[in-house]
Amino acid sequence: MSINRSEEKSILTKPPSSNKALHEPLLINSKTSDDESEDLLTGGNLQTYNTDNGTFNTPRAPKHDLKSTTRVIYVNDHVANQPFKFPKNDIKTTKYTYLNFIFKNLWEQFHRFANCYFLVIAILQLIPTLSPTGQFTTFIPLGMVLIFTMMKDAYEDIRRRYSDNITNKRIAHVLRDGAFVDVFWKDVQTGDIVRVCNKEPFPCDLIVISSSEHQGICYIETSSLDGETNLKIRRSRHETMDMISPNVLENTRMTLESEKPNNRLYKFEGTLIMHNGKKLSLDPEQVCLRGSSLRNTDFIIGIAVFTGHDTKLMMNTKETPHKTSRIERMTNKLVLLVLALEITLIVICDICLMIWTANNGKMWYLFKSFTVNANEVAWIGFKGFWTFLILLNNLIPISLYVSIEAAKLVQGIIISKDLQMYHEDTDTPANVRSSALNEELGQVNFIFSDKTGTLTENKMDFMKCSVAGELYGTGVTEIALAAAKREGKTIVDNRPPHVKNNPNFQFYDERLTNGVWQKGASRAVIEDFLRLLAVCHTVIPERGKGQEIIYQASSPDEAALVKAAKYLGVEFIARTPNEVTIRLSGVDETYQVLDIIEFSSDRKRQSVIVRDPQGKLILLCKGADSVLYPLLKQPQAYGDITLKHLEVMGTEGLRTLLCAKAYLDEAEYEQWHREYEEAKTSLEDRTAKVESTAAKIEKNMELVGATGIEDKLQSGVADTIYELGNAGIKIWVLTGDKLETAINIGFACDLLNSSMSILIVEGHTYSDIKEFLETSLNAANNAKESEDVLGLVVDGERLHSILEDHTLREVFLQLAVKCKSVVCCRVSPKQKADVVLLVKQNVDSITLAIGDGANDVSMIQSAHVGIGISGVEGLQAANSSDYSIGQFRFLKRLLLVHGRWSYRRVSKLVLYCFYKNSILYLTQLWFVFFNGYSGTSIHDRWTIGLYNLVFSCMPILVLAVLDRDVPATVAEKFPELYYQGHKNAFFNARVFVGWIVNSIFHSLVCFFVPFFCLVGAKFPDGQDIDTYSIGIVVYSCVLVVITIKIALETSSWTWMHVLFYIGSLLSWPLFIFIYGSLFYAFRFPYPVLKEFYDILQEYRIFLTPHFWIVLMVTVALCCLRDVFWKFWVRIQSRKLYYEVQAAHDKKSREEIMQHFPFEEGLPVTIKRKKRSPLEAQNLKKFFTNITKPGEYRGFAFSQTENQQNLISEYYGDKETK
C-alpha cells in the first residue's frame, strides 16, 4: 500500500513502483555524540558521517577472521567485501562443467566393472600372439559404448544446465550507483541492497530494512520452504524502516555482522551497525529466506546476507547424487557372477590345454622347436589362459550397458511426449532428467509426499456451513468425488458455472446466496453466524488501488471465513486496535474490541470479547468441536444435528470449526479482565496462567453454527492415492504444517479414515516416547491384519528425538512399516530427508519422494527416485529431481504405466543380453574341445565384433522401447499388476538362472547339430564343407534362434517390431555377400582383403540343402521347447496377470477381480535384526482407549500467534502518523 513520507523522492528507475510517492527520511540531524561516533568494529571499515564537512570517514579495512563464528559484510560495498570471497548467487544442479566433462564422465564410466573389464580385454587383444579374434574387435565396440554413454550424459546435463539458467537468469532489482537496476539473480552479491516487489520470490537470503507497509511490516509465503500455507509476517527494525530512497540507501554506510552460513531455517543471529555506530540486533523476524516469496506487500528493501549455496535453503540441500537402479545394481552383481563362471571355464580349458600339450606336443605339425617339459607346458598354459579369456570375454555382453542406456533414453523421450501427463494450465509436460531410473518407477514401495502445492492447491475455499440444524452448501470436494467413484456412484456438482469458475468465492446455496437468507425465517440466527465470522478474527483490511478492500491475514482459514461473510452479506470493512467495523444491509456497525484471546495448538480455539453497538458484552468463539462443545450450555437445541453435520463435512475432507457466543455480565467481566491482564504480565508460567484464566470466561456458550473449509486438493489427488494404495504402495506425507492440518489432509486424501486406528506419537521425554512406541509396536505385532487398520502421526519435535536415537529409530521404523500410512507434521527439510533415508537404508524397498518446493529438494535427492512438481512454486524442486511432472495426479500414470512397462522392458533387455551372448560364445567353448584347445575361433573376427553392434542389437532395443504386455488403460484399470515389481517377478535370481540354462541348451543344439551334420559333408562341387562354413551355419542358427526367442517374448506387435526383427536376420546374409565382395570391388592386395575373398567363397553355403535342413532342425529343437513351456505355464499358473492379458477386452474389472482377491505383495523387510517382542497387549483395547479418534469431524485451523500485538503495532503507527 502507498505510504506517506515527509519528503518525496522517486524510488526506482525500473521497474516502476505502483504509483508510489516515497520520501527520504532525515537520518542525521546533528553531530553524533562521542558514544555514537565510536567505531565499534575495531579497525573496521566502518564509515562515519562528519556533519561539519558533510563527508564520510572510512577507517582501514580489517582482516577477516575465518575462524570466527560470525562474519562481517559491508553493505553496498563490493570492494570491501571482495577479500572475503563470498559465493556467487548462481545455483548449479549440473554434474559436469565444460572443462571436466570428458575426464569426469570417463571416470564415472570406468567405475563400472564391465567397462574396466573390456578395457583390459581390448589391451590384451593388441598382443597378436594372444588374440584369436583380431586386434580391434573389442576396442571399437568399447569406444562406441563409451561415446554413446557420454553423449547421453551430456544431453541430460545440458538439460539441467538449461533449467538452472532459467532460475539464475530471473530478474532482481539491485541498488547500483544510486538507482535500482535490473540484474540477473546470479549477479546479486553479498551485501547488495535488493528491492523485491509483490509476488516476487526472494533471490537470496535478505535482511529486511524497510517496506511499503507501516512499521516496516511485510507478508511472506513460505509454503515452498516449510509447507505452511499461512502468510508469515516479517518486519524491519524501527531505526531503518524509513530507509526507502535510493539516494539515502546509497549514501548510508552500514555494516552487517551475521552468523556463519548454516541450515537452521528458523534461527538467525546478527547485528546491523548503522552509520553512527549504533548496533541493531537482528533475529528471524528480519530475515526473508530464498525459497519464499513476497505477498500482499508492494515492495521490501533488504540486504543480501547469504547468497548462492550459502543460503539456508541450499544449506539444506545436497549435491546432486549419482543414483543407480535396483536392476542395475543386481546386474553388476550378475556380471561378477558370470565373470566367475567364465574364469572357471577358462581354467578348465587351460588345464585341458596343458594336458593335451603334454600328450601331443611332439606331433610333427606342431611346435617345431618345442620340447615337452614342465616349464614349456606352464608357459603354454599361461598364454592359453589369456587366449581363452579373449575368446570367451563376451560371455559378459559388451553391449549390455549401452543397450540399457539407449533403451532408457528413448523410454525417457516417450515419457516426456506422453500427452496424458501434460498439464495444459501451466504448459508443463513430464520431464525426464535421469532416465537411468526408469525401471525403478516400476518397483516403488514407499512414496514420501510433500503436502502444500503437491497434494493441495494452497487455496482455502469456504464450502459448507451448518446453522440452526440446517446444512448449507452444494459444493462437492475432491475426496467426495473420489469416494463416489470407488463406490460406483455419480455425484453431480449443482453449482452454476459462474460460481465454480469464481476464483474468490465458490460457495453456493440458493437458500443463502444473493441475500435470500435475509428474507427467510432463519434470518436472525444466520445473521448472528455471519456477524461472528466478520468480527471474531485478527484479519487486517487494507485499501487497494481501486479502493477495494484487501484482507491481510496470516491465517488462510480466517481469510476464507471473512470473505465468506462478505459475499453472504456481512462485510468486514475496517478495524483499529480497539474497534471492528462491519457493514450489514448498507448499515455500518462498530464493535468495540475489548480482548482477543488468541488461538494456540493447546487451546484449539480463539475468542474475541466485544461490546456491540447496543452496549452488550459478547464473547465470540470459534474452535475445535472436541474442545468447544463441552463449553456450551446443555442441552443445545441443534447440538446433535450440528455434530452430525461436522462428521459429514469431515468425511468430505473439510476443515471444520464450531462457532459459539455468550453474553457476559459487566461485573463478571471486569473481575475476569483484571485477572487476565495480570496473567498476561506474569513473569512465571505466563502461558499456563493466560490459558487457565481464559478458560474461566469461555463457558456457558450458545451454539451459533459450524463452518467447513476445503483445503483444496489438486485435481485427481484422492483417486491417485487410492489407486496407488491398490498397487501396494504405502504413502507417507511429510509436511511443515501443524498437527491438525496434517491429520485433516490425511483424511481428505483418504490416507487416514475413521475406520483406522490413528497412532499419534506422544511424550516429551525419551522414556515417554520409547514407552509409547514399544507399546504400540507390540500391540500391532500381536494383532491380526493390523497393517490394514493402522495410521501413524508424528510431529517434528518428537521425530527429532526419534531420529537422534538408534533404539527409537529402530522401534519407530518397525511400527511405521506396519501402518497403512504415516503423516509427519512440523518437519524441517532436513527431517524430511532423514525420514526418507531411514526407510531407504533400513528397509528392503524402493523409495520415491515427490514435492514442489525448495524445501523438498533434500528429500527428493535422498530417495531412490525423486519427483518434482513444476510450474507453480518455481523450478528448484524440478531441477533437483530425477523426473518432473505438472501435478501429483500424473504420478499414477508415471508409475502404473510407464514405470511398470520400463521395469518389464529393462528386465527383458538384461536377461536377453546375457542370453544371446551366452549362446554365441558358448559355441566357441564347445569348439575348443575339437581343435586341440588351441583357442581357435569357429567364427570370423568381424562377425564376432559385429554380433552385438549390428546383428542382435536392434530387436531387443525395439522390445525395450515399444513392447507393452498390457495397454496403458488396462495398467491403470488394474493397479494390482504393479505387485509384479514388488515381487521382482520379471528379474530375480531364479529367472536369470532359467535364462542362462536355456541359453546353454540352445548353444549346445546350435553347435552340435550343425557340427555333426556338416563335418565330412561336401559342397555340390565335391569340396569339403570347411570349418568356416560350419561356423557360418552355427552363426546363422544362433541368429535365427535368438530372433525367434525375442519374438516369443514380445507381447505387442507394431510395424517396427516386424521391420527390425526380420531386418536383423536379413542383414546377416547381406553382410556376408558385401563383406566378401569387397575383394573384387577394391582388389587391394592387403591381407585383410584376402580374408574377404575367403568369406565370399563361404557364401555358397547358403545355396546348399544342408544349410536349410540343419537350420530348420536346429531352430525347431530350440524353439519348440520354449513354446510348449510358455503354454504349460499359462495353463498351470492361474494368475491375475495372465487373466488380464487374455480377457481385459472381454470382461469388466469386477468380473476378473472376483476370481482374484486383492494380491498381497511381499511384505517389506527391515534390514536390521528385529528386537525381541515384549509381552503382547490387546490391540483393540489399546487403540480404542489410547489412540483411536472416534468419529472424525475434521477440525483444522492455521493461525500465527501474537496477532493482537501485531494489530496494535500496525494501527498504532497509523494513528501516530
Given a cut of 90, whether residue 840 has pLDDT beyond it is yes
8-state DSSP, 477: -
Q: What is the mean pLDDT of residues 349-374?
A: 72
Res. 1167 pLDDT band, cuts 50 70 90: low
Q: Is the pLDDT of residue 762 over 50?
A: yes
Is residue 856 annotated as involved in ligand binding?
yes
pLDDT confidence band for 10 (50 / 70 / 90): very low
Mean pLDDT of 45-57: 41
Is the per-residue pLDDT at 1175 higher than 50?
no
- pLDDT tens for each residue of 403-462: 898 899 899 999 999 999 998 888 889 998 888 899 999 999 999 998 877 888 878 889
pLDDT at 534: 93
Is 716 marked as binding a ligand? no
**Residue 473 confidence (pLDDT) above 60:** yes
> Do 1137 and 980 contact (CB within 8 A), yes or no?
yes
Residue that wins the pLDDT comparison between 12 and 515 = 515
pLDDT value of residue 779: 83
Query: Average pLDDT in the 208-223 region?
Result: 86
Mean pLDDT (whole number) for 695-715: 89
Q: What is the pLDDT averaged over residues 526-541? A: 91
Q: Is the pLDDT of residue 766 over 80?
A: yes
Question: Angle 739-748/478-486 helices, nearest 10 degrees?
Answer: 40
Give me the pLDDT at residue 545, please: 67
Distance CA 1002, CA 996 (A): 10
pLDDT of residue 300: 94
Q: Are the beta carbons of 1174 and 814 closer than 8 angstroms?
A: no
Average pLDDT over residues 188-209: 93
Q: How far apart are CA 604 and CA 1172, in angstroms?
A: 40
Range list of β-strands (E), 436-499: 446-449, 456-467, 470-472
Q: How sure is the predictor about 1095, in pLDDT bands with cuts at 50, 70 and 90?
A: low
Strand pairing of 570-576 and 279-282? unpaired
Q: Would you say 452 is a known binding-site residue?
A: yes
pLDDT at residue 837 tops 90:
yes
Please report, rounded to a whole number, the percentage of residues in the chain having pLDDT higher than 90. 32
Number of helical H runs and strand E runs in the chain: 42, 37
pLDDT at 732 over 80: yes
Q: At residue 589, does pLDDT exceed 50?
A: yes
Per-residue b/e over 529-558, b at no fewer than 16 CB within 10 Å?
bbbbbbbbbbbbbeeeeeeeeebbbbbbbb
CA-wise closest residue to 963 among 1086, 1088, 1061 = 1061
Residue 302 and residue 204: Cα distance in Å, rounded?
10
153 is annotated as contributing to ligand binding: no
Lowest mean pLDDT among 49-53, 346-350, 586-590: 49-53
User: Is residue 855 a known part of a binding site?
Assistant: yes
- 655 has binding-site annotation: yes
Q: pLDDT higher for 550 or 1078?
A: 550
pLDDT at residue 584 is higher than 50: yes
Mean pLDDT of the residues in the chain: 82
Rounded CA separation 876/223 (Å): 13
Q: Which one is catalytic: 77, 226, 242, 450?
A: 450
Question: What element of type H or E holds 989?
Answer: helix 989-1014
Q: What is the pLDDT of residue 783?
A: 66
Which three three-digit cell numbers place residue 597? 484471546
Q: How confident is the model at residue 160 (pLDDT cuts 50, 70, 90)?
A: confident
Report pLDDT digits (tens) over 638-685: 889 999 999 888 888 888 999 999 999 999 999 999 998 888 877 778
pLDDT of residue 1210: 62
What is the predicted pLDDT for the residue at 320?
Answer: 65
When pLDDT is cut at 50, 70 and 90, the band that residue 1181 belongs to is very low
C-alpha 351/C-alpha 377 separation (Å) is: 10
Residue 314 contacts residue 167 (beta carbons within 8 Å): no
Q: Is 451 annotated as a binding residue?
A: yes
- Is 1193 a residue whose pLDDT tops 50? yes
- Rounded to whole angstroms, how far apart are CA atoms 1076 and 677? 104
Q: Residue 892 phi/psi, 5° resolution?
A: -60, -50
Radius of gyration, CA atoms only, the chain: 38
Question: Does 558 show up as a binding residue in the annotation?
Answer: yes
Strands 790-795 and 821-825: parallel
> What confidence score (pLDDT) does residue 1158 get?
54
Is residue 542 a known part of a binding site? Answer: no
The pLDDT value given to residue 614: 92
Q: What's the length of the chain?
A: 1217
Considering only residues 235 and 129, tell me which one the structure prediction assigns the higher pLDDT. Answer: 235
Is residue 852 marked as binding? yes
* Cβ–Cβ under 8 Å, residues 821 and 838: no
Grid coordinates standing for 1103? Answer: 545355396
Question: Percent of the chain, pLDDT > 70?
Answer: 84
pLDDT, tens digit, 9 for 90 and up, residues 255-309: 999 999 988 887 888 999 988 888 898 988 899 999 889 988 889 999 999 999 8
pLDDT value at residue 1205: 63
pLDDT at 737: 78
520 is in an annotated binding site: no
Active site residue 940: no
Indicate whether this model's pTM tops 0.85. Answer: no
Read off the pLDDT band of 43 (50, 70, 90): very low
Q: Is the pLDDT of residue 1 over 50?
A: no
pLDDT in tens, 130-140: 776 667 777 88
Query: Is the pLDDT score of 559 beyond 60?
Result: yes
**Average pLDDT of the residues in 44-73:** 50
Average pLDDT estimate for 819-840: 89
Is residue 148 part of an annotated ligand binding site?
A: no
Residues 487 and 493: beta-carbon distance below 8 Å:
no
pLDDT greater than 80 at residue 1002: yes
Domains defined along the chain, listed by start: 11-89+189-306 (no CATH), 106-151+324-406+897-1140 (1.20.1110), 445-455+714-863 (3.40.50.1000), 456-711 (3.40.1110.10)
